[in-house]
Chain A
Amino acid sequence: MTDIIAALALITDPQVLLVILLAAVFGLVVGALPGLTATMATALLVPITFFMAPAPAIAAIVTTSAMAIFAGDISGALLRIPGTPASAAYVEDSYKMTQKGQAELALGICLVTSAIGGLFGALILALAAPALAEVALSFSSFEYFWLACFGLSCAVFIATDAPVKGLVALLLGLFIATIGIDVTAGYPRFTFGSIELMGGVSFIPAMIGMFAVGEVMRFALASGPRPTVPNQSLRHVFHGLGRVLWRYRLNLVRGNIIGTVVGILPGSGADIAAWVSYAVAKRFSKEPEAFGNGGAEGLVDAGAANNSALGGAWIPALVFGIPGDSITAIVIGVLYMKGMNPGPTVFLHEPQLLYAVFISFFLANLLMIPLGYGAIRLARQILNVDRAILMPIILLFCVVGSFAINNTVFGVGIMLVMGVLAFFMEENGFPIAPVILGIVLGPMVEENFMTSMIKADGNLLGFFERPIAACLGVLTLIIWSWVILGLIRGRPAVQAAPGMPGDQA
């Protein structure tokens, strides 16, 4: 109880509240603009959170990501361009509603279901994380090794439509993680004599490069006139909303549950949650013909699912240090830099910080209703921001952010290399989220693998001797053999939804 009060004191500090408010506005604007994703918003925020205390830093990231995932719906409904990939699943429906003159209703549904979904995800997070942490305390290197393998396998095989390309992305990430002084022997690997590489590839410049510079390059390549915002009233967003939500109340519950579960699965985040729950809603709907034709039903399901996935993704991140999506991968990198190693021990040593995470989730999703309403009212102005002006500014921000971490231009170099790599990977259908997961989890996988190998004296059966480790190990092997069997039979093992992109929320 004292921890909860301590956490409340941390969050209700006026300065922290101001940070949350600014983060909310930032998230809404970045999320609403097409081509700027929620992950990019988080990545751009990180250099600034680097200089903050842990509580406001976490609160800022939570708020930004939640707002950005909702705001993606705004340009989806008004321009037919999802502002973030998480809104892509139902963009047809929301845009057709706008064409029918129902833009207010569509945005109202998106706003309220987003807030409800976010609150539900946060509730599950607050209930499940401490309970799971009790279990996690008894884990040894064997369990952690398999857990990380299981998480990475999910990221590769469930979250991407081309398993081989996902695997390549993951292995590249793991390779990048091995650069620098190695964890067991202290030998500098792949540094080619560079002193700056001895400490490894810095995480923040790498992540800014992949999620922001790659995006700026894609903008540079794209051309064409700016789409115009339809001239419709956006004033009465909540009018008639209660009736629709009551009619689809079961969809709302289902969307929440699916979203949270998909969020918990490592490597799959808000965008996959939206695709899955939209598909499920269509499958069990009484009027499946309305899907894709401006029906409100799919909007309720998927609108709630993508926001509840955010809370879900924090569960494995906080309990095991294994990110549930690319946003929590960034969070884990930030926590490590702040000297807080995510994992069950955080629950023992710094419970007030965990409660601070839960409270900021609730706060952010409650704030979403008034601030989101404001964003909808200002949608025309936000969407008319000239991206030709915005993108160079974002690039300068990336440069300063990458420089600020170690105060060397070497960080800018890492950002440049990773940005070009991300651009070419995306052009050729390689997902980039597994690279970031590989970089974040690489040291943990290797350390637990080496410790386990030494403990078991090279006997691979030793990896299966403890019961939980055995279960996780078998589960991982089942995923692998399923995929390999599918490849041998010459078809993708996991049939992804058409047009489903890799996770980059």
Chain B
Amino acid sequence: MRVNDALSGVVLVVLALAMIAYTRTFPAMPGQDYGPALFPTLIGLGLILAGLTLIGQGWAARARAPWIDAAVAFGSRRQLGRLLAVPASLILYMLLADPLGFILTAWLLLFGLLLLFRGGQALSSTLIALVVTLIVHYAFTQWLLVPLPPGLLQSILY
């Protein structure tokens, strides 16, 4: 999704103002003039300056650059679906990994994305997802000793 630079600038200025306002709540260091608020405040001021410059540039270019140009980047509805599937699958992983366990969740994530990206081919996608999940699980739990959540398969795995 492409947006006009002026809009990015507005977002940045608002973000920076909120940030500076928040630093006002930081305590001062006793006996020092410079506390934890100083550096974030300087960053915030820099962001405001940069944001204002972007607003100026975006305003000057408003004839060429539309405010929001979703079509240029997102293309068809199908492409948008593929794009949103990436963050959505990560959110689902975060929610499901503990209750379901790594193997089931990872298989689900792989299977769903493979199906979507390849446009079908359910059988081979099932198998690829299964093999990759088992390899990754084995490598990370056995060699790198990462405690991946066992979840529902706890009784089978251990």
Q: Which residues of A contact B (CB under 8 A)?
A: 48, 51, 164-165, 167-168, 171-172, 174-175, 178, 182, 184-185, 187, 189-190, 213, 216-217, 220-221, 223, 386, 388-389, 391-393, 395-397, 399-400, 403-404, 407, 409, 412-413, 415-416, 419-420, 424, 427-428, 430, 446, 449-450, 453-454, 458, 487
Would B53 and A164 count as touching, CB distance under 8 A? yes
Would B47 and A391 count as touching, CB distance under 8 A? no
A78 to chain B, nearest CB (A): 23
Would B82 and A221 count as touching, CB distance under 8 A? yes
Please provide the chain B residues from 24 to 40 with a CB less than 8 Å away from any CB of chain A in the complex.
26-27, 29, 32-36, 38-40
B26 to chain A, nearest CB (A): 6
Would A185 and B36 count as touching, CB distance under 8 A? yes
Would A184 and B109 count as touching, CB distance under 8 A? no
- With A221-B75, A399-B109 given, name 9 new contacts (CB 8 A): A168-B54, A185-B29, A189-B26, A189-B36, A220-B117, A403-B97, A416-B94, A428-B5, A458-B33
Instruction: Name the CB-closest residue of B to A386.
Output: B118
* CB<8 Å pairs between A and B, sample of 30: A168-B12, A168-B54, A171-B50, A175-B43, A184-B29, A184-B35, A185-B27, A185-B36, A189-B40, A190-B22, A220-B79, A221-B73, A221-B79, A221-B82, A389-B118, A391-B113, A393-B132, A395-B109, A396-B133, A396-B136, A397-B136, A403-B148, A404-B144, A412-B90, A413-B94, A419-B90, A428-B2, A450-B34, A458-B34, A487-B53
Report the separation of the CA atoms of residues A392 and B86 in the bound assembly, to the nearest whole angstrom.
9
Report the separation of the CA atoms of residues A487 and B140 in the bound assembly, to the nearest whole angstrom.
51
B39 to chain A, nearest CB (A): 5
Among candidates A221, A400, A415, residue contacting B136 with C-beta atoms closer than 8 Å: A400
B91 interface residue (CB < 8 Å to A): yes
A175 to chain B, nearest CB (A): 5
B83 interface residue (CB < 8 Å to A): yes
Report the separation of the CA atoms of residues A415 and B140 in the bound assembly, to the nearest whole angstrom.
19
Residues of B close to A185: CB separation below 8 A: 27, 29, 35-36
Would B109 and A48 count as touching, CB distance under 8 A? no
Is the interface on chain B under 10, 10 to 19, 20 to 34, or 35 or more residues? Answer: 35 or more
Report the separation of the CA atoms of residues A391 and B128 in the bound assembly, to the nearest whole angstrom.
13
Residues of A close to B85: CB separation below 8 A: 220
Report the separation of the CA atoms of residues A403 and B141 in the bound assembly, to the nearest whole angstrom.
12
Report the separation of the CA atoms of residues A161 and B66 in the bound assembly, to the nearest whole angstrom.
21
Interface centre among A220, A427, A428 (most CB of B within 10 A): A220
Instruction: Name the CB-closest residue of B to A170.
Output: B46
Report the separation of the CA atoms of residues A476 and B36 in the bound assembly, to the nearest whole angstrom.
25
Instruction: Name the CB-closest residue of A to B90.
Output: A416
A211 to chain B, nearest CB (A): 14
Would A446 and B83 count as touching, CB distance under 8 A? no
Residues of B close to A399: CB separation below 8 A: 90, 93, 106, 109
Report the separation of the CA atoms of residues A178 and B50 in the bound assembly, to the nearest whole angstrom.
19
* CB contact under 8 A between A171 and B47, given known A178-B39, A427-B73: yes
Please provide the chain B residues from 102 to 124 with a CB less than 8 Å away from any CB of chain A in the complex.
106, 109-110, 113-114, 117-118
Instruction: Name the CB-closest residue of B to A164.
Output: B53
Would B82 and A392 count as touching, CB distance under 8 A? no
Among candidates A51, A217, A412, A413, residue contacting B83 with C-beta atoms closer than 8 Å: A217
A313 to chain B, nearest CB (A): 26
Residues of A close to B32: CB separation below 8 A: 454
Main secondary structure of the interface of A (DSSP, over half): helix
Residues of B close to A458: CB separation below 8 A: 33-34
* CB contact under 8 A between A407 and B146, given known A178-B39, A392-B117, A424-B1: yes
* CB contact under 8 A between A403 and B146, given known A189-B36, A220-B85, A454-B34: yes
* CB contact under 8 A between A388 and B33, given known A48-B144, A409-B98, A487-B53: no
Shortest beta-carbon contacts, A-B, top 3: A392-B113, A388-B117, A220-B82
B100 interface residue (CB < 8 Å to A): no
* CB contact under 8 A between A389 and B128, given known A184-B36, A187-B36: yes
Residues of A close to B3: CB separation below 8 A: 428
Residues of B close to A217: CB separation below 8 A: 83, 86-87
Among candidates A221, A400, A412, A420, residue contacting B140 with C-beta atoms closer than 8 Å: A400
B126 interface residue (CB < 8 Å to A): no
Contact with A along B58-75 (1 / 0, CB 8 A): 000000000000000111
* CB contact under 8 A between A449 and B73, given known A187-B27, A399-B109: no
Residues of A close to B57: CB separation below 8 A: 164
Report the separation of the CA atoms of residues A407 and B87 in the bound assembly, to the nearest whole angstrom.
20
Residues of B close to A419: CB separation below 8 A: 86-87, 90
Would A395 and B113 count as touching, CB distance under 8 A? yes
Report the separation of the CA atoms of residues A316 and B113 in the bound assembly, to the nearest whole angstrom.
41
B35 to chain A, nearest CB (A): 6
Would B36 and A415 count as touching, CB distance under 8 A? no
Residues of A close to B148: CB separation below 8 A: 400, 403
Report the separation of the CA atoms of residues A449 and B43 in the bound assembly, to the nearest whole angstrom.
13
Would A221 and B97 count as touching, CB distance under 8 A? no
Instruction: Name the CB-closest residue of A to B19.
Output: A175
Instruction: Name the CB-closest residue of B to A446.
Output: B39
Residues of A close to B129: CB separation below 8 A: 392
* CB contact under 8 A between A409 and B19, given known A175-B43, A221-B74: no
Residues of A close to B75: CB separation below 8 A: 221, 223
Residues of B close to A187: CB separation below 8 A: 26-27, 35-36
Would B109 and A396 count as touching, CB distance under 8 A? yes
Report the separation of the CA atoms of residues A164 and B9 in the bound assembly, to the nearest whole angstrom.
10
Instruction: Name the CB-closest residue of A to B39.
Output: A446
Instruction: Name the CB-closest residue of B to A186.
Output: B36
Would A396 and B110 count as touching, CB distance under 8 A? yes
Would B34 and A453 count as touching, CB distance under 8 A? yes
* CB contact under 8 A between A400 and B146, given known A217-B83, A450-B38: yes
Would B97 and A409 count as touching, CB distance under 8 A? yes
* CB contact under 8 A between A221 and B83, given known A164-B57, A392-B113: yes
